[in-house]
Amino acid sequence: MPDTAPAAPVLDLGADETLHVLVPSRALAEAVEAVSPRIRAHRFDPADGVPTGEATQAQVMVPRGGGELPAEVWDALPRLRLVQLMSAGAEKFVGRLPERVVLCNARGAHTPATAEWAVAATLAAQRGLPHFTRLQEAGRWEMRTDHSLVGAKVLMVGAGDIGRTIGRMMAGFDVDVTWVARTAREGVHAFGDLPDLLPHADVVVLIVPVTSETTGMVDAAFLAAMKDDALLVNAARGVVVDTDALVAELTSGRLRAALDVTEPEPLPDGHPLWSLPNVLITPHVGNTPEMAVPLLTARVTENIRRWLAGDELLGPVDPEAGY
Q: What CATH number is given to the structural domain containing 66?
A: 3.40.50.720
Q: Give yes or no: 284 in active site.
A: yes
- The answer to whether residue 320 is domain-embedded is no
Q: Are residues 139 and 71 in the same domain?
A: no
Q: Are residues 67 and 163 in the same domain?
A: no
In this prediction, residues 105-125 reach a mean pLDDT of 93
pTM of the model: 0.82
The pLDDT of residue 100 is 87
Would you say 160 and 115 are in contact if contact means Cβ atoms under 8 Å apart?
A: no
Q: Are residues 12 and 103 in the same domain?
A: yes
Q: Give yes or no: 182 in active site.
A: no
Q: Are residues 38 and 139 in the same domain?
A: no
Q: Are strands 19-23 and 60-61 parallel, antiparallel or unpaired?
A: parallel
**For residue 13, what pLDDT band results from cuts at 50, 70 and 90?**
low
Q: Are residues 305 and 293 in the same domain?
A: yes
Residue 33 scores a pLDDT above 50: yes
Instruction: Tally Cβ neighbours within 10 Å of residue 161.
Output: 18
Q: Are residues 122 and 76 in the same domain?
A: no
Catalytically annotated residue among 107, 182, 237, 306: 237
Q: Are residues 121 and 266 in the same domain?
A: yes
Residue 7 scores a pLDDT above 70: no
Q: How many domains does the chain have?
A: 2
Considering only 15-19, 57-61, 186-190, which range has the smallest mean pLDDT? 15-19
Q: Are residues 57 and 120 in the same domain?
A: no
Higher per-residue pLDDT: 233 or 96: 233
Q: Are residues 89 and 152 in the same domain?
A: no
Catalytically annotated residue among 271, 284, 302, 305: 284
Q: Are residues 209 and 87 in the same domain?
A: no
Residue 282 scores a pLDDT above 50: yes
Q: Are residues 154 and 64 in the same domain?
A: no
Q: Give tens-digit pLDDT for 194-207.
A: 999 999 999 999 99
Catalytically annotated residue among 33, 40, 79, 265: 265
The pLDDT of residue 149 is 98
Residue 179 scores a pLDDT above 60: yes
Considering only 18-22, 44-48, 224-228, which range has the smallest mean pLDDT? 44-48
Higher per-residue pLDDT: 64 or 6: 64
* Amino acid type, 22: L
Residue 167 scores a pLDDT above 70: yes
Q: Which is nearest to 194 in space by CA: 184, 148, 259?
A: 184
- The answer to whether residue 260 is domain-embedded is yes
Q: How far from 236 is each of 250, 262, 302, 315, CA to CA, in Å?
A: 19, 9, 26, 18
Q: What average pLDDT does the chain have?
A: 91
Residue 76: which domain range?
4-109+289-314
Q: Give yes or no: 42 in active site.
A: no
In this prediction, residues 10-30 reach a mean pLDDT of 82
Q: Which is nearest to 235 in space by CA: 168, 162, 306?
A: 162
Q: Give tens-digit pLDDT for 204-260.
A: 999 999 999 999 999 999 999 999 999 999 999 999 999 999 999 999 999 999 999
- The answer to whether residue 321 is domain-embedded is no
Q: Are residues 211 and 229 in the same domain?
A: yes
- The answer to whether residue 319 is domain-embedded is no
**For residue 5, what pLDDT band results from cuts at 50, 70 and 90?**
very low
